[in-house]
């Protein structure tokens, strides 16, 4: 990696684990010129309230850009800015996955039992999601940005009941592995306690297979 290349930090954890707070504290430690790349879309009143709560909790000096489907384009512009932001937060990849995988297929209690064609469509969109995330990583590197990427660890609970949810879990899990392999640091938040996973102890022969499989 060249000195001009950016640094990527992945921050993961479960819901309400403290991962977003951890990423925000890491960004604040670098200065006040932080770019917050938000992927959430207020599709219902409850989500709108969550977004507003997050917005009110962030420092007012931070710049905010909404990028529900292509954060890579936002990072490209940030890397070309003079000077670039001291840190960029992308929050979060799991919401980005929902935006790309589901799009016009937002599920209700009546249509969760999706037929094979719809499941295949979501799987195909998973390839699009992977490409979007890879581009985001490339823009972060080439733009020399210090980028903190927030995502959910989706594999610690029960196997989802519905096919669409299982496909979603699998796609997000594979993409998380790719980002973790590319990242310079990986942090896991558990009940508000940050644990650094990477750099960490070297395990002989690991990884034994390509990340994302």
pLDDT digits over 65-103, tens only? 999 999 999 999 999 999 999 999 999 999 999 999 988
Angle at 37 between CA 137 and CA 102, to 5 degrees: 80
Q: What is the three-class DSSP state of 32?
A: coil
Residue spans of the domains in the chain: they are 7-189
Q: Which of 194, 210, 207, 103 is nearest to 148 (CA)?
A: 194
pLDDT in tens, 187-208: 999 999 999 999 987 666 665 5
Q: How do residues 137-160 score in pLDDT, each as one tens digit?
A: 999 999 999 999 999 999 888 888
Quick check: is 54 catalytic?
yes
**Fold of the 7-189 domain:** Rossmann fold (3.40.50)
Active-site option among 54, 58, 135, 169: 54
Question: Do 160 and 169 touch, CB atoms closer than 8 A?
Answer: yes
Cis peptide before 155 (omega within 30 of 0): no
Task: Round to whole Å and give the CA distance between 192 and 194.
Answer: 6
């Amino acid at each position: 990696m060249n000195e001009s290349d950016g640094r990527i930090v992945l921050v993961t954890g479960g819901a309400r684990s403290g991962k977003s707070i951890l990423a925000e504290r890491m960004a604040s430690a670098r200065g006040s010129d932080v770019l917050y790349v938000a992927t959430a879309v207020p599709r219902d009143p409850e989500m709108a309230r969550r977004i507003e709560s997050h917005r009110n909790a962030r420092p007012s000096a931070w710049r905010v850009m909404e990028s529900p489907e292509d954060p890579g384009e936002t990072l490209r512009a940030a890397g070309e800015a003079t000077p670039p932001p001291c840190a960029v937060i992308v929050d979060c990849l799991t919401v980005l996955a929902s935006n790309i995988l589901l799009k016009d297929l937002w599920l209700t209690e009546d249509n969760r039992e999706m037929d094979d064609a719809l499941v295949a469509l979501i799987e195909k969109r998973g390839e699009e999601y992977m490409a979007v995330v890879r581009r985001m990583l490339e823009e972060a590197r080439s733009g020399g940005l210090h980028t903190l990427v927030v995502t959910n660890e989706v594999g610690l609970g029960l196997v989802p009941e519905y096919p669409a949810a299982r496909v979603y879990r699998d796609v997000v899990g594979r993409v998380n592995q790719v980002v973790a392999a590319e990242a310079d640091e990986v942090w896991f938040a558990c009940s508000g306690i940050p644990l650094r996973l990477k750099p960490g102890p070297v395990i002989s022969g690991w990884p034994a297979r390509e990340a994302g499989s």
